[in-house]
Amino acid sequence: MKRAHTRSHLAAAMKLGASRSKIFYVQAGGLLVSGLLWWVVHFMRGDAELPGVLELWTMKIHGALAMSLLFFAGTMFFDHMVHAWQLGRNRRAGIGLAVCLGALVVSGYGLYYFDGDVLRQATEWMHWLSGAVAPAVLWWHIGAGRRSVRSIRDEVMHKHALSRKVRLTEPGKTHVLRDTDGIVERAAQKSSERKP
């Protein structure tokens, strides 16, 4: 029971909560919209033209949101990521999201500081592809996390129900259900047989 109790506390601790989830969704949605808008405006202009006002502002907004999301992701490291890892839950989706976000961070950094045509073009493609895949990976991660929390809650409720003694009386016998270190024991006691 102690292990299940600890697991339920870790599961509760790793949940973001309503306000933190909203902040994250606003940041991620803003990044997606500003990135898509920049991409459309960028490819609508000719190669010889200079970037327009909308293209410059979408890039500035995208960069500001990226810095804010990077800070926010850092605050989630211990209470969300480490606890989930300790529980052994949602690891594949979590690793997938971490790899995707890591590729966005590295390629975003490279868009500002990498030099050379080939490296610059490879960095652009890496950023665009990672950004295109990120919403699907995030959706997968959120869905897997919600299923994981539900299964932990159900497991704890089941163990709690088994830890209480339940007596069922039938004519001639009594069944006692109890939980000892996660193992359900059934003890059947027959009442003394009646003499004819």
Q: What tokens does 127 get?
A: 């950023």
Report d(CA 153, CA 96) in Å as an integer: 24
Residue 177: inside a domain: no
What integer is the mean pLDDT of 5-27? 74
Whether 43 is covered by a domain: the verdict is yes
User: pLDDT per residue over 152-190, tens digit each?
Assistant: 667 666 666 655 544 444 455 544 444 443 433 333 333
Which residue do the tokens 């033209």 mark? 49
Cβ neighbors of 61 (< 8 A, separation 6 or more) are: 30, 34
Structural domain contains residue 34: yes
Contacts of 138 (CB under 8 A, 6+ apart): 28, 97
Query: What does the CA dihedral 134, 136, 140, 141 come to, rounded to 10 degrees?
Result: 20
Which pLDDT score, from 0 to 100, does residue 17 have?
78
80, two tokens: 């969300």
Q: How far is Cα 150 from Cα 146, in angstroms, rounded to an integer?
A: 6
Where residue 192 falls (left for φ over 0; alpha for ψ -120 to 50; beta otherwise) is beta
The model carries a pTM of 0.68
- In a domain, residue 187? The reply is no
**pLDDT tens sequence across 24-38:** 899 999 999 999 999
Which tokens go with 125?
Answer: 């493609």
Q: What are phi and psi of 173, to 5 degrees?
A: -155, 160
Q: Does the structure show a pLDDT above 70 at 96?
A: yes
pLDDT above 80: residue 117: yes
Examine residue 181 and state whether it is found in any structural domain, yes or no: no
Q: Answer yes or no: is 30 within a domain.
A: yes
Q: d(Cα 148, Cα 145) in Å, to the nearest integer?
A: 5
Domains: count for the chain: 1
Question: What does the block give as tokens for 150?
Answer: 């539900």
* 39, amino acid identity: W
Q: Per the domain annotation, does 123 fall within a domain?
A: yes
Q: Kindly state whether residue 88 falls inside one of the protein's structural domains.
A: yes
Give percent of the chain above pLDDT 90: 38
User: Which DSSP category does 80 fall into?
Assistant: I
Please check the confidence at residue 84 and state whether its pLDDT lies above 60: yes
Q: Which domain holds residue 96?
A: 2-162
CB 10 within 8 A of CB 87: yes
